[in-house]
């Protein structure tokens, strides 16, 4: 058995695989002892939401960026202001580029 000893810990892949198999078997045995009386395709197998109607799968999907909800909400004003110039049109971006370049050149020559 390949066994790597770090001095403070031991890494043996076979022991991990064995442990996973044992846990898997225990889970399957536990699962097989569960309630079997559920009628499929009825409310008995529906999600329980405190008695409320369960929304469709699309409506109840929580997107990953929802964890930034508070962040977006607190910086809403900044995001609104920042998103306005971002039209997605190349001409607008070029105009911004030209405008900023002109201002930079003016500042460079007048102030310098």
Q: Which of 15, 18, 21, 44 binds another protein (CB under 8 A)?
A: 44
Q: Which of 30, 31, 40, 53 binds another protein (CB under 8 A)?
A: 53
* By CB under 8 A, residue 56 contacts another protein: no
**Structure-block tokens of residue 100:** 């900023």
* By CB under 8 A, residue 74 contacts another protein: no
What 3-state class would DSSP assign to 48?
Answer: coil
> Site size for another protein, by CB under 8 A?
13
CA distance 112 to 109: 5
Comparison of 54 and 100: residue with beta carbon closer to another protein: 54
* By CB under 8 A, residue 37 contacts another protein: yes
Q: Which of 1, 4, 52, 89 binds another protein (CB under 8 A)?
A: 52
Q: Which of 39, 61, 63, 84 binds another protein (CB under 8 A)?
A: 39
Q: From residue 93, give the alpha-carbon distance in Å to each of 56, 87, 97.
A: 40, 8, 6
Question: Which residues are CB-contacts of 93 (< 8 A; sequence separation ≥ 6)?
Answer: none
């Amino acid at each position: 058995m390949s066994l790597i000893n770090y001095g403070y810990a031991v890494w043996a892949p076979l022991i991990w695989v064995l442990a996973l198999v044992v846990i898997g078997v225990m889970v399957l045995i536990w699962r097989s002892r569960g309630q079997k009386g559920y009628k499929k395709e009825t409310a008995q197998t529906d999600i329980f939401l405190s008695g409320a109607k369960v929304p469709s799968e699309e409506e109840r999907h929580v997107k990953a960026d929802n964890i930034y909800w508070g962040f977006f909400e607190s910086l809403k004003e900044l995001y609104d202001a920042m998103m306005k110039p971002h039209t997605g049109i190349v001409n607008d971006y070029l105009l911004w580029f030209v405008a900023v370049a002109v201002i930079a050149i003016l500042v460079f020559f007048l102030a310098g």
